[in-house]
A and B are shown apart, each in its own frame.
Chain A
Amino acid sequence: MMAFLSRRMAWAVVTLWLVVSGSFVLAYVMPASDPARMMAGPHASAEVVQRIRTELYLDRPLPEQYVRYVGRVAHGDLGQSYRNKEPVTAALARSLPWTALIAVGASLVQLLIGVPIGLFAALRRRSLADAAAMAVALVGISAPTFLTGLGIMYVFGFQLGWFPLGGLGDGFFGALRSAVLPSLTLGIAGAAYYSRLTRGEYLDVASRDFMRTARAKGLSERLVVLKHGMRNALIPVVTFFGIDLGVLLGGAVVTETIFAWPGMGKLAIDSVLQQDFPVMLGCVVVASAAIVTANLVVDLVYAWLDPRIRLG
């Protein structure tokens, strides 16, 4: 187990190092961007730009710049925002909790809607209900987020007036209430996918010998389905759930933009539009770290569930 864990963690570190190196290329090497000019502002004199270049070590040889950059990131220093001169970590710390809130909400939507529908469809295989559930799931997967987001906002926010039309509400209950529609938007495509996954996995498990044995032992159908069937069918769902949670924590650009949600996705898109490279790269690093960590955790959980994986 320790060897497996060490190997996986080493890969996680290598992946993050590649992301950080890639971000260095984007920010400091590409000719289109001049960090000193961006920081000084478009009307700054050549002397001021040169002074900032010196302060940032941008006039040093490229390998030296690279080592300094990686060293800073390794120590948690992601630089300063060009826009408001605040540490990038402060901007990320402000946004990450709100993204986490809708990521958790979306995960709940995915599980609480997707899994029951998948099971329902599997238990009524080849019925009209099965076809209808899978057709709805197909639409849910295929519909672009900006469309489902606006549709959900129009129905639940505008017509019914149950939830605010975007933005972050005041106070604890205000924030929770305003998180409902972004979470629903973000979770609906995942729910559709999970329903198809659950259905497929359950149908696969349903034909296994141990299910027949369970029934032969005289267990109730409810116990057979939930204890034996679903327990096995949910293993791949749990895997995907972990990876999805990592992706969601990296920020959902479209959903957060539609709902003016002050999370990582909106921070990322705002930093791109304002060419605030340090913030943009901070978002990339945090999103990558979230995905890498989620993958690592999933690998570990999977290995714990299925000992054969450790040998792989």
Chain B
Amino acid sequence: MSPLLLLLACTANPDGLTPGAGNTAPVYGGTFVYADEDDIRTLDPAIGYDEVSWTAMHLVFDQLIAYAPDTDGTEVRMVGGLAESWDVSEDGLVWTFRLRPGVTFHNGRELVADDVVYSWTRLFDPELASPGADFFGGISGSQAMLDGETDHLAGLVALDTRTVQVTLDAPDATFANAVAMVFGSVVPREEVEARGEQWAFSPVGTGPFELSEWQLGEKTVFVADEDHWEPGRPYLDEIVHLAGYPRTVQFLKLEAGELSQINRMSSPDYLWARQDERWGPLLQEVPSIDTYGEMMNTELPPFDDLAFRQGVAASIDREKLKKLRNGRYRPTISWVPPGLAAHVEWDELSADEQHAYRYQRHDPALAKQRLSESRYMQDGRYVGPPIVYWALSDEASLTTAQSVQQDLSLAGVPMTVKTTTFPAYLAAVGQPKTVQIAYTAWVMDYPDPRNFLEVIFSCDMRAEQNSQNTSFYCDDETERLLDAAAVEVDPDVRADLYERAQARIAEAAPVAIEYHSTSLSLVQPRVKGFRVHPIWTRDMREAWLDVPEGRPTRAGGAR
């Protein structure tokens, strides 16, 4: 064969576009290939706090508590992961986890309770500066560790090789959620210490796949762990993540059979796929547990004026945004998304209850009235300082920014849009008195109203740098309700407290609440068992390829 022909013959086609072979039971083997615009940032579960990293870490690591396989956007159930069972004391303060026997790390060593103690203690290492410390901060003694007063957590002990006991400072209904987060992953101390700074790029976990190869900025390869603790090995031999592919190219690669699945599409590609007779039936649209809107800085003019914020919130046409995004948005008045306690729908509220949420709907007359009552408007003209709206450069953010700019212009409020990169955006909105108004989104860390309300609107979440509360809103009564809800264990009382807190926030309008989004997924016909997951985005643990020849598992037995 001539060199040229040899060159052209080197074609990679991981799973192709051809229909499945018709297997009804899962078969073993094959490679699942997916791509993102970004690379995985880190595979250290104590550090990673972004969607791409979490998806990959879900392959490599396990947590004591896991989300049930049938978890979707509307129902989230928790089951035992590395823990075969757990108990909570009557006062809600002491959690006791019983570990599953026979679990091994990828290096072959058996998991013991001390590994859990090490992994969770590590989150409070001041040098590591883990974002996970916030979620495990209820464990007794955590503050002393963060302050560098001690090197161990008083409230975290291994009772024996298979039992871990956690003591909290106060009851916390969301502690199980924290344990199920990627920050709750269990890691082997000897590997972390031996690998030092390279640990984040060569991790060892207990998950169904282990890292085989990582070419930074290019691709990461995960191979099935033949000895995974769940019965049998994963169906797939290999999962490959490709980094740096624009959405348009991802779509071409899917069509050419070079990718197994995509979850980001440009609007033209989405519209094309939806009406295409081959791809249309394969398109999944799953409600996401998230909320989008505009954060308004309550410390900066003109948004330090309540009437002005309320007027701006009421000016925004949510239905227009839905049309601009091809119907993929669900307009809302509720910062807490559907499926979670404290979510509200306008039509289900009484007239009295609707009163608090009236600014979170498009109402031009009400907007005009509230704006005219603001000290920054005179005779229908805006007289405040120039308004700069911070947006990201992606399609969704820009579309929203331009639509809001148009709505505010109609209300007599001029505004310019500034686009920036995500890290620069995060740094700016997280600093006090820096950004007036910004495109904002909150995608849940775990499915609970606390993660939407306390994290974003609590006075305690304001900071001099990297503030999570980017509107810098602080209200005593809202704070009292959030504090009470955080330690309340009765679900009904808790939901009521969060509903009341949300109503106050909706009326004070530190945020213009706009919509919940929809996750998209387009999969090859032969890909089975893949799920769009509300936490992990892509869940490939149970995926298999419907190919003609399967091969038996080395561990024997089916999963």
List A141-173 residues whose CB lies under 8 Å from chain B. 150, 153-154, 157-158, 161-162, 164-171, 173
Binds B, one of A10-18, A43-51, A112-120, A245-253: A43-51
Q: Is the CB of A273 within 8 A of B252?
A: no
A266 touches B197 (CB 8 A): no
CB within 8 A of A260: which of B10, B201, B249, B255? B249
Interface segment among A34-42, A101-109, A209-217: the answer is A34-42
User: Are A173 and B10 neighbours in the complex by a CB distance under 8 Å?
Assistant: yes
Within 8 A of A (CB), among B483-497: none
Contact check, B421 vs A257: say whether CB atoms are below 8 A apart.
Answer: no
Q: Which of B10, B47, B130 has most chain A Cβ within 10 Å?
A: B10
Whether the pair A45, B242 counts as a contact (CB closer than 8 A) is no
Chain A: residues with Cβ within 8 Å of the partner, total of 46
- Per-residue A-contact encoding for B229-267, CB less than 8 Å = 1, 0 else: 000000000000011111011001101101000000000
Bin the interface of chain B by size.
Answer: 35 or more
Which residues of A are found within 8 Å of B256, using beta-carbon distances?
Answer: 157-158, 161, 165
Complex interface: chain A residues within 8 A of B127 (CB):
48
Chain B residues within an 8 Å CB radius of A167: 218-219, 242, 245
**Is the C-beta of B215 less than 8 angstroms from some C-beta in chain A?**
yes
Is there contact, CB below 8 Å, between B243 and A260?
yes
The contact string, 1 if C-beta is below 8 Å from chain B, for chain A 241-273, is: 000000000000000011110100011001011
Q: Which A residues are CB-close (under 8 A) to B216?
A: 84, 91, 94
Task: Judge whether A43 and B133 touch: CB under 8 Å.
Answer: yes
**Binary flags per residue of B186-206, CB closer than 8 Å to A gives 1, else 0:** 000000000001101100000
A257 and B148 alpha carbons, distance in the complex (Å): 44
With contact pairs A47-B148, A48-B129, A157-B252 given, residues A266 and B244 touching in the complex (Cβ less than 8 Å):
yes
Rounded to whole angstroms, the CA-CA distance of A237 and B10 in the bound complex is: 36
For the complex, is A275 an interface residue (Cβ under 8 Å from B)?
yes
Given contacts A84-B200, A275-B423, contact A177 B245 (CB under 8 A): no
Residue of A nearest to B214 (CB): A84
| Residue A22 interfacial (CB < 8 Å) | no
Bound: A118/B422 CA distance, A: 45
B249 touches A165 (CB 8 A): yes
Tell me which residues across on chain A come within 8 A of B249, comparing CB atoms: 150, 153, 165-166, 258-260
Check B129 against A45 for contact (C-beta < 8 Å). yes
Kindly provide the distance from the CB of B273 to the nearest chain A CB, expressed in whole angstroms: 15
B466 close to chain A: CB less than 8 A = yes
- Please indicate the chain B residues that have their CB under 8 angstroms from the CB of A83 in the complex: 41
- Known contacts A165-B252, A273-B422, A42 near B258 by CB under 8 Å: no
Closest A-chain residue to B131, C-beta based?
A43
Interface centre among B7, B8, B39 (most CB of A within 10 A): B7
Q: How far is the CB of A263 from chain B (nearest CB, A)?
A: 10
Residues of A within 8 A of B133 (CB): 43
Chain B residues with Cβ below 8 Å from A266 are: 217, 244
CA distance A158 to B13 in the complex (A): 12
Residue on B nearest A260 in the bound complex, by CB: B244
Choose from A158, A174, A272 the contact partner of B421 (Cβ within 8 Å). A272
> Which residues of B lie under 8 Å from residue A169 when comparing CB positions?
10, 12
Asked if B126 is at the interface (CB within 8 A of a chain A CB), the reply is yes
**Complex A-B: 15 CB contacts under 8 Å:** A44-B126, A48-B126, A84-B197, A84-B200, A94-B216, A150-B249, A157-B256, A165-B256, A165-B258, A169-B12, A177-B7, A177-B8, A260-B245, A266-B244, A270-B39
Q: Which 10 A-B pairs have the closest CB atoms?
A: A44-B129, A260-B244, A43-B129, A275-B423, A85-B197, A42-B466, A41-B129, A165-B253, A260-B245, A262-B218
Which residues of A pack against B, CB within 8 Å?
32, 37, 40-45, 47-48, 83-85, 91, 94, 150, 153-154, 157-158, 161-162, 164-171, 173-174, 176-177, 257-260, 262, 266-267, 270, 272-275
